[in-house]
Amino acid sequence: MNSRSVSLMIVPVLNLMSLVAVKAFPIPCANQSDEAASTYSSIDLSKINQQVTTEFLKAWNSSHNGVHSVEAVVLIFCKLDGSYFAAALGQTNERNRLTFEWDPAAIAIAHTHPTNMDPKPSKEDTRIADRLGVPIFTMSRWGMYMYDPDTRKITKVRDNLDWLDASKWVQNSNARQDH
């Protein structure tokens, strides 16, 4: 298998998540729109569909809806036809840490942030996205944020729990840059 182990750790100091990972080289998505890339990032948010949001919900439920200091991860992939699909990775029995297998075919990582943490990607989140070369999303009660290593910007892509509604992704909304 062409995968590597990645560890996510929750660090209570400053309520920031620390991410530890190994270098990987993702496969770029075929049929990606240059317009979407220039507007948002290297990922086309309008391709987030019901299957992907169902996986987001699985992760959200695994994290106890952000109430506990438990993290859950979703990897997002691109099919040959350009559509997206995702896989929520099962929760481990580790406390304040989640280890999962990194798949270099993934085009993005999404993970939950507990409600008591800053909902935006932490500095460690941005480091992992830079190292892996893929956008990283944080999912929380307060919204979904994305850090894109191509633009080096953090953007709020959905408010509150709108990221769980597939119909909200089809609409082309204005994401705002927070950093």
Q: For residues 94 and 175, what is the distance between their CA atoms, to the nearest angstrom?
A: 34
CB–CB of 26/3 below 8 Å? no
- Identify the bridge partners of residue 99 per DSSP, sorted by sequence position: 7
pTM, whole model, 2 decimals? 0.75
| Residue found under tokens 């695994």 | 62
| Pick from 67, 88, 119, 96: nearest CA to 8 | 96
pLDDT of residue 135: 96
Residue pLDDT, tens place only, 4-47: 555 554 333 222 222 222 223 333 454 333 333 334 467 999 99
- Quick one: what percent of the chain has pLDDT higher than 90? 49
Going edge to edge, which strands form the sheet with 97-102? 16-20, 4-11, 97-102
Kindly report the average pLDDT of the chain as a whole number. Answer: 76
